[in-house]
Amino acid sequence: MDISNKTIYYSGVNALRLEWPAELSVKYGVLVTFNEGEENSNEVKYEAKVTRLKAGTEGQPLFQIDRIGDVFVNEMLPDLVADRLAYALGKVFYPLVIAVDQNGGFQTVYNHQEILKRWPAIKKRVLDNFEGSLVENYIERMEKQLANPDSIQLAFLNDWFIQTFFKPLYKEYGQHRTTGSIFKFPIVKDFNVEGYITEEKLSGQTNSFGAIELLHNGVIKPLEDDLYIANRATGDYEGYYLLHPKYRRIISVVSDFGYGAPVVSKVKVKITVIPEDGLEFDHDFELDTNVKGMPVTEMVVIDGQRSRKGFWDRLLK
């Protein structure tokens, strides 16, 4: 079924609504690159599984995030003791359950008590495999963090995957499919910056392989305070989201962040769906034909001549 370059009909005033059934899991590859092209460039790569859960006790939308396999730093397993230790201790957080708001934006860590119950076993495993004062120091710091829900919350406010994937995307975009927000990302930690003033533009047609495009363009918004005028931070943000044409879940994200205060920092985040074994990433692509007011002339028809490019060529063109 060819749904490339077709008109998209949204409900409401161009409202983007997520259709992700409970218990459905989707795997993603995650690549975070720091200062790409510079001498101090580093990249972190891993896979994650995201599962929609049933609503929480107060009706909150919940998602579970699992880390799959190892985390690679510059294409290698961490070799420094400090890195391996941090990775081993960090396993206590997964599976991680988070609550999001009605627009899909990250709100809180939901399973704090489950994380605490895991800690004794994780701690024992670490003590069995590491020794020395560094281990004791890391364990002490981790125990202080685990005891304070606010500290755990802060840790995930600085998590690149969560802060890119769980943004408040699902809302009305207005008559012209354009709206605006102020977004914060982990690259901005100064107290004199509100975040990135971001224009969010939703596509009116599917792209060349049938996905919905959502474009973000933002610039740093400093606090309006005379104390910071002389040394005001600058920076920009570009985000390119590809969404499933029917279910609206994320297929791919490529985001670039720049921040100068005054040293310039750059971060690139790529999140890409990992197709189920033997299937194309778009095997279930179809347009929602149940939107009120859709004219019959725009209904999709079967086209057996659909072109098939390679996976990466089509997804990250």
Is pLDDT larger for residue 312 or for residue 244?
Answer: 244
Confidence of residue 40 (pLDDT cuts 50, 70, 90): confident
Task: Find the distance separating the first CA and the last CA of the chain, reported in whole Å.
Answer: 21
Cα separation of 213 and 315, whole Å?
12
pTM, 2 dp: 0.86
- 8 Å CB contact between 95 and 65: yes
Q: Among 130-139, 141-150, 248-257, 280-289, name the one with the lowest average pLDDT.
A: 280-289
Residue 134 to residues 30, 77, 126, 253, Cα–Cα distance (Å): 29, 20, 12, 37
pLDDT in tens, 86-101: 899 999 999 999 999 9
State percent of the chain over pLDDT 90: 61
283-308: burial string, b at 16+ Cβ within 10 Å, e else: eebebbeeeeeeeeeeeeeeeeeeee
180 Cβ neighbours under 8 A, 6+ residues apart: 197, 198, 199, 200
Ordered by start, the domain boundaries in the chain are 1-18+172-317, 47-168
Mean predicted confidence (pLDDT) in 33-55 = 91
Confidence of residue 279 (pLDDT cuts 50, 70, 90): confident
In the chain, how long is the greatest CA-to-CA distance? 71
How is the beta sheet containing 96-100 ordered, strand by strand? 106-109, 96-100, 62-73, 42-53, 25-34, 264-274, 250-260, 236-243, 212-222, 193-202, 178-183
Mean predicted confidence (pLDDT) in 217-232 = 72
Confidence of residue 294 (pLDDT cuts 50, 70, 90): very low
Confidence of residue 311 (pLDDT cuts 50, 70, 90): very low
Cα separation of 16 and 13, whole Å?
9
pLDDT in tens, 125-157: 999 999 888 999 999 999 999 999 999 999 999
